[in-house]
Structures are given as C-alpha cells and as structure tokens.
Amino acid sequence: MRMFSSGKLQKLALAVFVIGVAGLLAYGFGRNANGGETRLTTSDESKSTHTLLLLEIFDSIKKNYWDTVDERKLIQLFELAVTKVASTSPLTLSATSTRAEFADYLTSALSAKTESDKKAATLAIGELVLSNLPPFGRNRLFTMAQEKDLRDTVSNIDASKDLYAELGVKKGASVADIDKAYQAKLADLRKEDTPGAKEKITRISYIKDVLTDEKKKALYDSDKIEPTLSLKALSRSTFYLNLTKFSPTTLQEFTDAATKMGGSVKARNLIIDMRGNIGGSFDIVPYLSGFFIGPSQYAFDLFKQGAYIPFKTPTQKLPPLSGLRRIIVLIDGNTQSSAELFVTVLKKYNKAKVIGTRSKGWGTIENTFPLATGLYGDKYTLFLVHSMTVGENGQPIEGRGVDPDIDITDKNWRATARDEFEDSALVSLLESLFII
C-alpha cells in the first residue's frame, strides 16, 4: 500500500454513504484550529444563498480537507453531484473557467427547482460531494443540532439516559438509598440467571459506581458526563483499567485512577483494556502519552496536505506508572482512531506490551468547520477529515491498523506470553480476559 496520495482524487462513484453519529465518533475528533467560519469574498455577495452555501463547501474542502485537492477535479465532483440531484447535464467547465462561471453553473442548475425544493437539492449536492471524498462516507454536512449531538458524544454525554431513573431512585439520592436500590435490583436479576440478566447486572453495577463516587457523580449531576474508564484490582499485584473512550474528562480520570493504584505497595502490573475503544477526542492523546513517556517527547505525526505535523508531549510522567514492572494493553478489531494512535506511542517507546488482535485501522482525525451561509434560518457545519494519523513505523494507520505484540489468534499465544512475562499467575489473568 502506498503512502498518502496528496493532490490526487480518485474517480468517485455517486453513492451517498449513510453513517450515524456513533459511527463518526469511531474516529479521532479535534478542536477547530483552522480559523472557524469560512469567509466569503466580495464577489460572492450577489449570489443566491443556495449557491453561496455550495461555494463555501467548495472553499472549505480546499482549505481544510486532509488531502491537497485539485480544483478542477473538485469542480468535476460538484458537477457529477449536481447532475445526479438536479437532473441536469454537466457543464464540463474548461481548465481556465473562472470561479464566477462555476457559481453561475450552480445557480443555473438549481433555477428550475421550486423554492421549497432548492434547499433539499442544495443540501443533497453538498452531502453527495462530501460523502465521496476519500475515505468515503466520513465527511458530512451537519446541522448545528447534529454538531451538538456529536460533541456531546465525544464528551460522553447521553441526554436520552437517566442513570437515577434506571436504578429507580430520584436525583440527589443518598449513597445509602442508591446502594439499597442496587441491592434490590441485583437480588431480582440473580434469580433470573439469564445472559440478559447478566448484562443488566453489569449495567446497574456501573450505575452504582458512578452515582456513589463523589467526583463521577458531580460530573454527571452537573453536565450528565459519564466516566470513560474504570479501575479494579484483579489480584494483589495486578490492576485492570478499562478505557472505553477519549473525552475531555479522561485525563483527570486517568490521574485519579493512577493515584488510587499508587496507594498499593504491591502494585506491579497494569492491564489497560482498550478493546472496543472508539477513540473520541484527539486532543487527549499527546497529554495521555506524556503520562507514560514524559514531557517534550516526540510522540507522533499527523499528515495533512502533503506535510507531516509533529506532536510532542506536554505532560510529566505519572509516578505510579513509573513504579510498575509491566504495562499490558489489550486491543481488538474495534480499537480505533485516537485509541490506535495512543497505542502506537506506547509501542514506539516500549512502554507496554500489546496483546489481542489487529486494531480497526480507522486512522482519520475529523473536525467541524462552521459555514457562514444558512438556508431559511438553518445553519450548517462541515464535518471533515482534516488529517491522517501515522503509526510508529511511519505508515498510515488508515486501512492498516496496529498489530499486537502478541496476537491471540496464534494458537501458541499463551506460551509466548509465559516466555515474555515469566509470570504464570499474570498469564492466567490474561486468559480469563480473553474468552476464546
């Protein structure tokens, strides 16, 4: 597989890829560091709002998309989308066509539509263009409400859920009342003894943990933010940390967990379970990496429009981590994006042994870019792949994934683990985590 094909758009099929918010957040998501809204030129001001919106999408793609886009090929992609949506013939603009001619073509293509249909056609053209930019289906046109849902998901907020109601208590219930409700539900579910009941036990145990932990409860009560990790002792010497997502609260959660672990004089091993980790906030990765490798260390590159952008760590090592004998990271085919990038840092600096199966290989970082032009009172924002992640071997993570040091699909993986760790009790714990 070649490295990134900067400046080359493939011939694209006209098919809209439909993916939901949860799917989008399988990728890395960063803050908008590229100047906010797209600004229109003076010459654009006389155009219809429908044309202006499409021109803004065109300009934002050129400026903010991860690959260097040939303008002529981007115009051709718009022409194909217009032909599909508006049932008009392509204009086939020449290589010397001006921006004004392109704008006139967009206006002409929509002119036959009724006013009520122009909005739907404009949005459909924008969506079709975006969904056909590689990697296919990951670039979208969002309403502001959809963007808010996206950011809530990154922050691990689900407004549709009420943990108090699930447990059957009122908000603000005391720890004693929460524990009482938990014990009652637990007793009922144990009587069922079904796979469904076991899942419900896991769920109410999680809710009890959130609502009886002072810090977790405060975050949930104020903003409905749920935790992204949990810590428990598997033995006197081995701790298990389940890290499900990267969100703005993850750094503090990780620090608190490390502090708790550091209080055990017998702590020797830490297993970090990142199976199923969907990524989330890319901004967290350099900071979390610093906890393991120290400050001002070259962690990784991003690739954008022909250039490699280096990232260094801004944080100090966490002392409890330095005192460990072993750190083991678990990954699988659903470990993706920011989570994959973090794993490559640990591998690069030999800070952890990675066990499991190859990760998903979704090596994109997305961001939102607000558009100045609205339609009939509605505002929109572009969700664009603005950079690609690069693994520890200098190759793109996209389409490749991250390979484990010990692959559990190998029938001899247990023997390999025993040779590596020289600790039969630890290998037994790992076996219990991999139910295969």
Using CB atoms within 10 Å of the CB of residue 435, give its burial: 0 to 12 exposed, 13 to 18 middle, 19+ buried: exposed
Domain end position, chosen among 225, 256, 278? 225
Does residue 51 belong to any structural domain of this protein? yes
Mark which of 197, 225, 253 sits at the end of a domain.
Answer: 225
Q: Is it the case that residue 54 has pLDDT exceeding 80?
A: yes
- Highest-pLDDT range among 44-58, 85-99, 369-383: 369-383
Is residue 102 in a domain?
yes
| Domain total in the chain | 3
332 assigned to some structural domain:
yes
Token reading at 201: 């036990």
Task: Tell me, yes or no, whether 84 and 130 share the same domain.
Answer: yes
Is 302 inside any structural domain?
Answer: yes
pLDDT value of position 86: 84
CATH of the domain at 258: 3.90.226.10
pLDDT reported for residue 392: 83
State the pLDDT at residue 34: 43
267 and 408 inside one domain: yes
Quick one: 266 and 387 in the same domain?
A: yes
Angle between helices 71-86 and 99-111 (to 10 degrees): 10
Residues 355, 297 contacting (CB under 8 angstroms)? no
Residue 296 lies in a domain: yes
The confidence score (pLDDT) of residue 384 equals: 97
The 10s digit of each residue's pLDDT in 68-121 is 998 888 988 998 999 999 887 666 666 666 778 888 889 888 888 888 899 999
Residue closest to 365 by CA, chosen among 16, 22, 26: 26
Same domain, 106 and 162: no
Does residue 358 surpass a pLDDT of 60? Answer: yes
11 lies in some domain: no
Burial class of residue 93, CB neighbours in 10 A (0-12, 13-18, 19+): middle
pLDDT for the residue numbered 193:
77
Q: What residues make up the domain containing 345?
A: 226-433
Query: Does residue 135 have a cis peptide bond before it, meaning omega lies within 30 degrees of 0?
Result: yes
Does 94 share its domain with 179? no
pLDDT band at 237 (very low <50, low <70, confident <90, very high): very high
Residue 389 identity: T
Give me 340's structure tokens.
Answer: 């994959």
Q: Using CA atoms, how far apart are residues 116 and 102, in angstroms rounded to an integer?
A: 23
C-alpha–C-alpha distance, residues 106 and 326, integer Å:
60
Q: What angle do CA 279, 140, 81 make, to 5 degrees?
A: 150
CATH number of domain containing 216:
1.10.287.110
Q: 334 with 429, same domain?
A: yes
For residues 278 and 391, membership in a common domain is answered with: yes
Boundary residue ending a domain (194, 209, 225)? 225
Do 330 and 272 form a contact (C-beta atoms < 8 A)? Answer: yes
Q: How many CB atoms lie within 10 A of CB 108?
A: 14
The encoded tokens of residue 7 equal 């400046």
pLDDT of res. 394: 86
Judge if 135 and 186 occupy the same domain.
no
Q: Are residues 332 and 256 in the same domain?
A: yes
Q: Is 258 in the same domain as 296?
A: yes
pLDDT at 142: 96
Q: Give the type of residue at 433.
A: L
- Same-domain status, 248 and 101: no
Helices (H) and strands (E) in the chain, counts: 16, 13
pLDDT in tens, 244-257: 999 999 999 999 99
Distance separating alpha carbons of residues 42 and 238, to the nearest angstrom = 64
129 and 180 share a domain? no
Residue 5 token pair: 């094909």
For the stretch 149-178, pLDDT in tens is 989 988 899 988 999 999 999 998 999 999
14 lies in a domain?
A: no
Lowest mean pLDDT among 37-46, 66-75, 146-155, 277-286: 37-46
Question: Residue 12: inside a domain, yes or no?
Answer: no
Q: What is the pLDDT of residue 71?
A: 87
Phi, psi of 92 (to 5 degrees): 55, 60
Max CA distance (Å), the chain = 76
